[in-house]
Amino acid sequence: MNIAVITGASSGLGKVITEEIHNFFVFDEVWIISRSEEKLKKVNCKFKTKIILLDLQIYENLLNFKNLLKEENPNISLLINCAGYGKFGSYNAVNLDSSLGMIDLNCRALTAVTEICIPYMKNNSQILQVCSVASFIPLPKLNIYSASKAFVFNYSLALRNELKPKGIYVSVICPNWIDTEFLSVAENTATPKAIKSYMFKKSPEFIANKALIGLKKKKHLILPSAFCKVFFVLSRILPKPLLIKLWLTNTNKD
């Protein structure tokens, strides 16, 4: 059985990718993972779907997913890790549960799902890790999130090299702001207006299309807009303190 596995498929970018993936790939079944059964049932995937209800922040659920793969023994042609969230505000504006939750979901769960799936992937299989331009530099008022995405960026590109002999391709997409409920969740802190404006924001449909095109080309790094490309280059040539200073012009004081 040839399958795709998509985490965070119930909303935002994950939902749109799930609904558009038939335009680029063919699968026997798509396994969609999220905490919300109600939302997953509303996902309009053109392939046969298997709904998997998991809170990926809970270690026991990761073990349950591992056991499920052992029982089903599928051929995973594509893994897309979309699950993740962020919170805006300084360290004292984001509660500890949220800070640790970002690390658990953005880093720990992504790593676990990836490494649980790899044994079921064969030559020419692919992995897409949803990262962010926030991974390029440290971002005050978005410190845990940017640090977690820096982990995803480095882990995933290193993993691509390690999996090359197996013919498994890892791609990383680094979008800027996406017009999804991610932003309303991120704003729900003690400083809800920490970010002044979402410049160069794109629709999830735009980012999903760029992600799937990049996957078809087996690109290692997908920069879906002109802003993302420019920011990536600047992050490599300009001093980090200067870039942080520029970033802070788009934030408000606590």
Q: What letter does residue 45 receive in the DSSP assignment?
A: -
Angle at 84 between CA 17 and CA 191, to 5 degrees: 125
Q: How far is residue 71's CA from residue 254's CA, in Å, rounded to a whole number?
A: 50
Q: Which helix (H) or strand (E) holds 243?
A: helix 240-248
Q: How far is residue 178's CA from residue 190's CA, in Å, rounded to a whole number?
A: 22
Hey, what amino acid is at 158?
A
The tokens for 69 are 């793969």
**Domains, in order of start, for the chain:** 2-248 (3.40.50.720)
Q: How far is residue 80's CA from residue 76's CA, in Å, rounded to a whole number?
A: 11
Q: What pLDDT is recorded for position 254?
A: 67
Q: What pLDDT is recorded for position 252?
A: 86
Predicted TM-score (pTM) of this structure:
0.95
**Bridge partners of residue 73, in order along the sequence:** none
pLDDT digits (tens, 9 = 90+) for 159-169: 999 999 999 99
The tokens for 176 are 């800027």
**Bridge partners of residue 195, in order along the sequence:** 251
Mean pLDDT by 10 residues, the chain (254 residues): 96 96 97 94 95 96 97 98 94 93 97 98 97 97 97 98 98 96 84 86 97 97 98 97 95 80
